[in-house]
Amino acid sequence: MSDHTPDTVEQMLALKRDYLMPCVFHFFRRPMVLERGAGSRVFDSAGKAYIDCYAGVGVSNCGHAEPSIVARAAAQLGRLAHTTTIYLTQPMLRLAEALAGFIGGGLRKSFFCTSGSEANETALLLAKLATGRNSFISLSRSLHGRTYLTSGVTGMAFWRADPEPPSNVHFAPSPTCSDCPLKLSRPDCELRCAEAVGDLLRENPGEIAALIAEPVQGNGGINVPPPGYFERVQTLLHEHGALLIMDEAQTGFCRTGRRFGHQHWDIQPDMITVCKALGNGLPIAALVATPAVAAAYTKPGASTFGGNLVCASAALATLDFMRDHRLEEAAARAGERLRAGLLGIAARHACVKEVRGLGLMLGMELVTPAGEPAGPLLDDLMETLKDLGVLTGKTGPGRNVLTLMPPLVITDAEIDQVLRTLDEVFAGLPLRATVSA
Ligand SMILES: Cc1ncc(COP(=O)(O)O)c(C=O)c1O
């Protein structure tokens, strides 16, 4: 097939059906073919522009095809693409140093790999090595990956291909106040969801190696925990000799208005995992641990593409861009603008149950008049938004949370355009779904 004869959408759907596994799904009834990106925009094969409010699931934080990142990755690709970790290469080592500086605190030692699943899998392994224990706590409504163990610690049935979690995984209730799994409300609940972690630690004495959690649950529907939750959980874990692993796949690299999501709370995780935005589109991930925990990983461990020269060069350029552009402050500012606009829309439409999130990680939960998750309504809305040039995401156990995670370089004018488009689409929703206030 020549590069000059682009496939049609129908041809691509046929290729997908015939040659990809059925688990590989796509958004939209009438999908487009994306070909190029620049900043906060992507362009399809017909040249139509879209404001990308999903950033490839929170990946392109510095913007698509950011020239300073492209130049450094391309230069490295032209020199030497790959050697693996059995040889010394400068980009990986400089990246480890830069990452420790960018994160701060006591997290200094990195293990590089290529995906969030692999980073989390390694974190669970290291927790076992460091504690000598073999059980884990995770939260309901969490997502931690696609591999056997990381899908096992994933708290959402939707994302668990094997419905049976391993027997050494225990689930504590997600700290989601808008829809509390314990049917309690603040402040009377006295953080019962955190105390449930203590219950599991006591019921399994000497067995729990670690708790793994996202600082803000992404796929679970953009769930921000209540103040004090993670502080209490960390205290309980450490009292029982267990470790805290924070999965920063979506919350990392300035998205929430801080460099990392856990930095919103007064905690010091023993390990964090990072992936997605680290390479701004190139596949690179890392487990970063305190030296004390990292010291347990002494047997040879190599990931063929871990710290790959091209990906590490892109990641170094990504960190430089984030620091030079103070991207966490940009995300906080832009997030406030977007949130204010979303709250305005929510006030006019009863189908919006809640707007929530931190920085530029925002969710808008949609419900039916009976208060049930309005998944089909969200599907319609996303399709129309796409037709009008705005790409959004979808999260939540009920697949009913409109999710906005644009590149952090999104401009005020682009945010306003997104809000105008959303307003227009909400105004056109069927009356049974919307009730004007
Ligand atoms: C919180 C979280 N952890 C882990 C993963 C898995 O990352 P990957 O797809 O790179 O394996 C994801 C992917 O969306 C995620 O959102």
What are the tens digits of pLDDT across the range 108-150? 999 999 999 999 999 999 999 999 999 999 999 999 999 999 9
57-92: per-residue pLDDT in tens?
Answer: 999 999 999 999 999 999 999 999 999 888 999 999
Structural tokens at position 69: 């990142």
414-428: per-residue pLDDT in tens?
Answer: 999 999 999 999 998
Atom of ligand 1 at shortest range from CA of 117: 11
Residue 437, pLDDT > 90, answer: no
Selected from 3.40.640.10, 3.40.50.1220, 3.20.20.100, 3.40.50.10440, the CATH number assigned to the domain covering 68-324 reads 3.40.640.10
393-411: per-residue pLDDT in tens?
Answer: 999 999 999 999 999 999 9
Ligand 1 pocket: which of 23, 141, 217, 219 to mutate (most atoms within 8 A of CB)? 219
434 CA distance to ligand 1 middle (Å): 33
| pLDDT value, residue 107 | 98
Task: List the domain boundaries for the chain.
Answer: 9-62+331-427, 68-324
148-187: per-residue pLDDT in tens?
Answer: 999 999 999 889 888 888 999 999 999 999 999 999 999 9
| pLDDT value, residue 175 | 98
Cβ of 182 less than 6 Å from ligand 1: no
How much is the average pLDDT of 345-365? Answer: 97
CB 60 within 8 A of CB 410: no
How much is the average pLDDT of 353-367? Answer: 98
**What is d(CA 356, CA 223) in angstroms, rounded to the nearest whole number?**
7
Q: What is the mean pLDDT of the chain?
A: 95
Cβ of 275 less than 6 Å from ligand 1: yes
CB 361 within 8 A of CB 250: yes
Atom of ligand 1 at shortest range from CA of 214: 1
Whole-structure pTM value: 0.96
| pLDDT value, residue 3 | 57
| pLDDT value, residue 429 | 75
Fold designation for 9-62+331-427:
Aspartate Aminotransferase, domain 1 (3.90.1150)
Cβ of 317 less than 6 Å from ligand 1: no
Atom of ligand 1 at shortest range from CA of 219: 16
**What is d(CA 279, CA 108) in angstroms, rounded to the nearest whole number?**
19
| pLDDT value, residue 4 | 60
Q: In this structure, how many other beta carbons lie within 10 angstroms of the beta carbon of residue 214?
A: 26
CA-nearest of 194, 169, 168, 162 to 181 is 194
Residue 436, pLDDT > 90, answer: no
Structural tokens at position 286: 């890392």
Give the rounded percent of residues in the chain with a pLDDT score beyond 90.
92
Atom of ligand 1 at shortest range from CA of 275: 10
Q: Are strands 352-358 and 361-366 parallel, antiparallel or unpaired?
A: antiparallel
Is cis: bond before 165, omega within 30 of 0? no
Q: Residue 86 corresponds to which amino acid?
A: I
Which residues is 246 bridged to in the sheet?
213, 272
Q: Residue 172 corresponds to which amino acid?
A: A
Cβ of 218 less than 6 Å from ligand 1: yes
Is the Cα torsion angle 313, 291, 148, 253 positive or negative in sign? negative
| pLDDT value, residue 430 | 62
3-47: per-residue pLDDT in tens?
Answer: 567 788 999 999 999 999 999 989 999 999 999 999 999 999 999
| pLDDT value, residue 431 | 38
For 367-397, b/e burial (b = at least 16 CB within 10 A) is: beeeeebbeebbbebbbbbbebebbbbbbbb
Q: Are strands 285-289 and 109-113 parallel, antiparallel or unpaired?
A: antiparallel
DSSP state of 3: T
Residues 6 or more apart in contact with residue 270 via CB below 8 angstroms: 127, 130, 210, 243, 244, 245, 289, 290, 293
Structural tokens at position 409: 């370089």
